[in-house]
Amino acid sequence: MLQLPNGQIPGKHQTTTLIGGWFSGPDYAVFVSDLFTFIGDGRYLKILNVNNISNPECIGEYVLPVIPERIFVRDTFAYVADGTAGLRIINIADPAAPYEAGYFDTDGYAKGIYVVDSFAYVADKDSGMRIINIKDPSKPVEIGYYITGGRVWDVFPVDTLVYVAYNYEGMLVINVKDPENPVKIGIFNTGGAVNDMFVVDTIAYVTKYQRGMVILNVSNPAAPDSIGFYSLSTSNLNIFVQDTLAYITGGGLEIVNVSTPYAPVEAGFYSTPNGGRGIFVKDTLCLCCGWRRWHVHYPVS
Q: Each residue of 4-39: pLDDT tens digit?
A: 333 343 334 456 666 666 666 677 899 999 889 999
Per DSSP bridges, beta strands 161-166 and 194-200 are: unpaired
252 close to 234: Cβ distance less than 8 angstroms: yes
pLDDT in tens, 137-157: 999 999 999 998 889 999 999
Choose the weakest-confidence range: 66-70, 88-92, 146-150.
146-150
pLDDT computed for residue 16 by the predictor:
66
pTM: 0.90
Q: Which of 105-114, 274-283, 288-297 has the highest mean pLDDT?
A: 105-114
Of the candidates 41, 102, 108, the one whose C-alpha atom is nearest the C-alpha of residue 71 is 41
**What region, left, alpha or beta, does residue 38 occupy, with left being phi > 0 and alpha being psi -120 to 50 degrees?**
beta
Is residue 17 within a helix (H) or strand (E), and if so which, with residue range? strand 15-22
**Residue 234: which pLDDT band, with cuts at 50, 70 and 90?**
low
**C-alpha span between 146 and 48 (Å, rounded):** 35
Cβ neighbours of residue 165 under 8 Å, at least 6 residues apart? 112, 123, 152, 153, 154, 155, 156, 171, 194, 195, 196, 197, 206
Other Cβ atoms less than 10 A from the Cβ of 242: the count is 16
% pLDDT > 70, the chain: 85
Complete domains list, the chain, with CATH? 15-300 (2.130.10.10)
* Distance (Å, whole) CA 25 – CA 232: 26
